[in-house]
Every structure is written in C-alpha cells, then in structure tokens.
Amino acid sequence: MEKHHKFSMWYVLLGVWVVLIIQNAIFSAFSIKTIPYSEFLKALNEDRVTEVAITSNIIQGRIRAPGEASEAGQPFRTIRVDPELSNLLSGHNVQFKGEIESTFLRDLFSWIFPIVLFVGIWFFLMKRMQGQQPGFMSLGKNKAKIYMEDEVGVRFEDVAGVDESKQELQEVIEFLKQPERFTRVGGKMPRGVLLVGPPGTGKTLLAKAVAGESGVPFFSMSGSEFVEMFVGLGAARVRDLFTQAKAKAPCIIFIDELDALGKARGIGGMGGHDEREQTLNQLLVEMDGFDPQVGVILLAATNRPEILDPALLRPGRFDRQVLVDRPDRRGREAILKVHLKKIQYDENLDIEKLANMTPGMVGADLANIVNEAALLAVRRDKEQAGMSEFQEAVERVVAGLEKKNRVINPKEKKIVAYHELGHAIVAMSLPGTDPVQKITVIPRGIAALGYTMQVPTEDRFLMSKTELENKIATLLGGRAAEEIVSGDISTGAHNDLSRATDIARSMVKEYGMSKVGQVFFASQRRAQFLTPIPEGPGEYSEATAEEIDQEIKEIIGAQYERALSLLSGRRDILEKSVAVLLEKETIEGDELKQLMAQVTDALSTRSEPASAA
Ligand code: ADP
Ligand code: MG
Ligand code: ZN
C-alpha cells in the first residue's frame, strides 16, 4: 500500500513536468519569428505589414520582406512597448523590443505547490485511516499472513508442559506431512481442531509449532480481524482466506481467538452483530465446502469455548478439541527451561524451586518472569540473572497477577487438595465408578479450581440405580472432605452440587428410581429442541412436585452421608495423600496406583459402610 502511494505521487510530479515541457516546445516549434518592436514600427512605416492581431501585450501578424511587394508575407510576432516610450525611442534610432517576464517560477509556486501539498495531505490522511480500519482501497483484501516453514520457526520443543496436547496434535502433523498416505487408505482427517485453554497457556504458540513441525504454509488470522466495520467484508475475508489456502495445500489455517467471531448467534451487544453472523455463516459454509482430501487443516484457539456457537462444534467442523491446560509443577519447570535458554543465568539456579513458587501460572507468566529477571540483572550490572533476581521477578509477576485473581494462595490450594482427594477417594472406594486417572490442584479449564479426572472404561448405555448413586456420592465427596477436615464448606462445590442434583432429579423424574414410583414426569418436549423450554406447570400436580423435591433432597442427603462416612473412615489416607498432592500438584501414574492400593487395602480390612439409599 505504502509503496503504491509513493509511486503515484511521483507520477503526478512527472505529469506536471511533462506538460510544462510540451507547452514550451509547442511555443517554440510553432513559434513564429519574434521581431523587435522597433523593427515592427519600421516595417509599418514602409507599408510592409499586411495584417495584425492585437492583444494587450502581443501583436501578431504577417510582414513582407522588403522589396517583395505582392505576397502575403511571413508570420511575425512582437511584444508591445508602450506608445510614448516607443515614440521617444524611435526618435533616437534605438532598436528596441518588449519582453514578457517569465512567469514559470511564479506559476510553479502559485499552482503546483498547493496541489502537491493537498495531494500530500490526502495521502497522509488515507494512510492514517488505513491504520484504524480497512481503507476502501483494500476492501475484501485479506490480511492473512503467510508464514512459511522457516519463518514460523517454532518447534514442538519450544512448547513445554503441554505434552498431552502435543500428542493429540501429532496426528495432524503426520497428515500434513504426507496427506497422500492418509487419503490413499480413504481415511478422513479432522477438518477442524479447536485448541481450548486459559489465556497464555501457549495455544497460539502450539498452532505455530504444528506448522513448524509439518513444514507447511501457515495462514493465521485473528477472529477479531474478521469482524469489520462494513457488512459483508468479514465474509469476503473468510472466502478469500480459504481460496488462498486451498491454492497452497497442504497447509494450515489458524484462526486465533475464534470466540470473537464465533460467538453464538444471538448473543452479544447491539450493532455489528449482523456482520458477525454473516462472517460466521460464511465460515461454516467454507468449512462444509472444502474437501478434507485437499489437505487444508483448520486450527482455531479460544479461551471461551462455552460461548461458541454450537454449530461450530458439530461433526465435520471443529469436532476435535484439544485442551491446552495450565501446566503443573513439572510442566512449569520444563517451560522455565525453554525460556531460560534465551538468557544468561546462574548455573546453580534452582529451577525446581522456581517452579514451586509459581503455582497456577501459565507459560506466558513464566516467560514474563524469565524476562523480568534478565532485565533486573542488567539493571544491577550483573553478567547473569541469579536466584535473587528471579525471586524478585516472581514477586513482581505475582503482584500483577493477584490483581487479576490468577494466583492460587496456599490456603485455597489446601482446601482444593482436600476437595479433589475427597472426590477421588470416594470414587476409589465404590465399585463400578469410573477409574480415577488424574488428580490435580492446578486450576483446570476455565472455571474449576482443581480437577479429578475419571475416564470411563467402556461406553455405557444403561446405568443401574447403584451406579447412579455412586456417581452422586463421588460428586459430593469433594464437599464432604472439606467438611471433615475443616468443619466448614466452601463455594468450590457448586458445580458438583448441580451435577449431583441433575442426576438425582433424573432418577426421580425420568427413571422411576424413587419412592414417587415408576412414573415419567419430565417434559417430553424438552428433548426436541436445542434450547430447553422453561418447564411449565401442568405436567404433574403441585403435591407431586413437592414429593419429587422431597425425594431429590433425600437421595442427595443419603449420598452425602455415605461420602462423609467413607471419608472419615479413611481420614489417614486422605491426610497422607493431601501432603503428596500439595507437593506434586498432580497425582497420576505410580503415585495414583499407590493411593489406589491404600484405599483398596482399607476396603478389604474395613467393611464398607452400608449403603444408605
Ligand atoms: P495463548 O495463545 O494460549 O494465549 P500464547 O501462545 O500467545 O498463549 O503464549 C504467549 C507466550 O507465552 C508465548 O509466546 C511463549 O513465549 C509463552 N508460552 C506460553 N505457553 C508456553 C509453553 N507451554 N511453553 C513455552 N512457552 C510458552
Ligand atoms: Mg493466543
Ligand atoms: Zn468438586
């Protein structure tokens, strides 16, 4: 754009110059012989002038050479001199002529200069406008940057602490490297992979690393760039982006901050949302339209998956989601090491201790700490950053983050540890619950402070009453543990409670698993629509409603008691594993097996408290 502007500026100047030259040339080429005024007067006296045309300054006409009496004569031109002076001059035999002063420079300044100035101002304003919004010169043109492999320059080794996410993306890389291998067998690749995780965990970095590892072109664009001032522009951009990408396949299209573009239709502020809807629709059309065999893979990142339009997550679109979560202690250590490579630091630096000091922090925070420490070292005239610099850097970053509520304080961490272990131990003590895979006190995902991961071993279509009750007990285990150790409960369980209540309600209203009887009370219509209809009255009587509520409360109450008694019987295990969890932040693998063994041992020696349901 800028280059173009400069060019046209020069064209304007060149044009002006050429016009002036031509004007001059015309003057001289057709120029009629200019004679001194005195000569004109002389010819006039000799009757040799045959015709004249007079303007205020110039006299043009034809003049005969002396002696040639008959012909029309040669054209001439002379410049007038005022009559009084000319009389005087001819009286004294002076040869004289008038002359017109050159007005070239004056013209230049009175005409050209202002024009150039205006043109200059216009270009300047245009450029300014372009900075803020797409100037109309670039309507529909795409801002997607193409990063070729060596330009991306990010490799998997630059992204640390997110090994699970990397593993899931490995397949995408394999595909991009050799698309034929997959397509020959007829295998279909995912069209869209959505990276989900809190800000700063390295989603953008990971997407770049996928491009870097597979060595394909990388088209990246931020969701907000699609949302334009003018209706229809964003949609044009999307179309353009996909056309560009298809021409370069195999390649990656990366849409960062997908939520800016993919907010559920109908949510959000006024104004501009028509435009966003159009853009989103275009994206959906493009995603459906392209043949995955071509080898274009769409990656997107968001930290707010919950507000995305459900249409985006349907099969064939972003149907694969990769969680990029906050790193645990070991992950933080790995990330610190990646960033420490870039600075000079004391060899005796205790990286493990640093990792311990930074619970809850994400990759971006850790990168920030390393950078901060390097800057501090420079300020202190040191050759390398040492522990004291890092300590101060951590403090600074923590102070910044505390304002944003992103650091876990030790007291909360302890409560979370008890809570999560409560879930885990109850789950392990009850037969038929999904096996626990991982327990962590690192904030997971978007809302949860801690996380106990249970993965079902098989697909289930039928659940028995006992299994449902066990599920409820497990969900309530978190709060039960809190109550046992502190005699107090926290707000951390609200999600658990809502899920437990949902199960209990279904047991009563849909599955006929309560004293209310084998009756179906749920609203039939609910399932047919994506958005739940608020339940209206009239499906059952007031009295039944009370009875249902009573039953739900009873089921929940009974399971809570059960969780409490399970946990108080295993208090020692709880305390011991809390210490481990607080130290390691995540329990999985061997430590998990150990914990499991303790719980099952306890099971075989002690009898399970009777089911209260
Ligand atoms: P997100 O897109 O998830 O908000 P970014 O990818 O933009 O996060 O990360 C910002 C910066 O933080 C990166 O450029 C990198 O320096 C650092 N960073 C974040 N996560 C990691 C990680 N897992 N490993 C190494 N560096 C990371
Ligand atoms: Mg990002
Ligand atoms: Zn919980």
Predicted local distance difference test score (pLDDT) of residue 266 = 60
Tell me what the mean pLDDT of segment 315-328 comes to.
Answer: 85
pLDDT band at 565 (very low <50, low <70, confident <90, very high): very high
How does strand 451-454 pair with strand 436-440?
Answer: antiparallel
pTM beyond cutoff 0.85? no
Is position 112 within any domain?
no
Q: Say yes or no: 89 and 158 in one domain.
A: no
Q: Is the pLDDT of residue 409 over 90?
A: no
Q: Say yes or no: 215 and 192 in one domain.
A: yes
Tell me what the mean pLDDT of segment 389-401 comes to.
Answer: 81
Lowest-pLDDT choice from 155-169, 451-465, 548-562: 451-465
| Euclidean distance between CA atoms 405 and 302, whole angstroms | 20
Contact 155, 213 (CB under 8 A): yes
Query: In this structure, how many other beta carbons lie within 10 angstroms of the beta carbon of residue 363?
Result: 27
Number of domains in the chain: 4
Ligand 3 center–CA 416 separation, angstroms:
8
Q: Say yes or no: 369 and 386 in one domain.
A: yes
Q: Compute CA 274 distance to the chain's CA centroid, rounded to the nearest angstrom.
A: 20
Phi-psi region of 391 (alpha: psi -120 to 50; beta: other; left: phi over 0): alpha
Residues 153-175, buried b or exposed e (16+ Cβ, 10 A)?
Answer: ebebebbbbbeebbebbeebbeb
Q: Say yes or no: 582 and 473 in one domain.
A: yes
Is position 530 within any domain?
yes
Mutate which of 158, 162, 205 to test ligand 1's pocket (most atoms within 8 Å of Cβ)? 205
User: Which atom from ligand 1 is nearest to the alpha carbon of 203?
Assistant: 3
Q: What is the pLDDT of residues 227-254, one digit of tens each?
A: 665 667 778 888 888 888 888 878 888 9
SS3 of 47-89: the string is CCEEEEEECCCEEEEEECCCCCCCCCCEEEEEECCCHHHHHHH
Q: Say yes or no: 178 and 308 in one domain.
A: yes
Q: Say yes or no: 166 and 224 in one domain.
A: yes
Q: Say yes or no: 306 and 349 in one domain.
A: no
Ligand 2 center–CA 303 separation, angstroms:
9
The HSE-up count of residue 12 (CA atoms within 13 Å, CB side) is: 16
The kind and range of the H/E element at 219 are: strand 218-222
> What does the DSSP 8-state code read for residue 375?
H
Q: Say yes or no: 68 and 182 in one domain.
A: no
Is position 81 within any domain?
yes
Q: What is the pLDDT of residues 178-197, one digit of tens each?
A: 877 777 777 667 778 999 98
Q: Is the pLDDT of residue 330 over 60?
A: yes
- CATH code for the domain in which residue 519 is found: 1.20.58.760
Q: Is the pLDDT of residue 1 over 50?
A: no
Q: How many helices (H) and strands (E) does the chain have?
A: 23, 13
Which residues line the pocket of ligand 1, CB cutoff 6 A? 159-162, 197, 199-205, 301, 335, 338, 363-364, 367
Structure tokens at 103: 């007005």
Last residue of a domain, one of 323, 353, 384: 323
Is position 291 within any domain?
yes
Is position 74 within any domain?
yes
- CATH code for the domain in which residue 361 is found: 1.10.8.60
**SS3 state at 401:** helix
Tell me what the mean pLDDT of segment 114-119 comes to.
Answer: 90
Q: Is the pLDDT of residue 575 over 80?
A: yes
Is position 303 within any domain?
yes
Is position 49 within any domain?
yes
**SS3 state at 230:** coil
Ligand 3 center–CA 497 separation, angstroms:
8
> What does the DSSP 8-state code read for residue 33?
E
Taking CA atoms only, the protein residue closest to ligand 1 atom 1 is 200
Active-site residue set: 420
Q: Say yes or no: 357 and 250 in one domain.
A: no
Q: Say yes or no: 454 and 592 in one domain.
A: yes
Domain housing 471: 410-602
Contact 154, 212 (CB under 8 A): yes
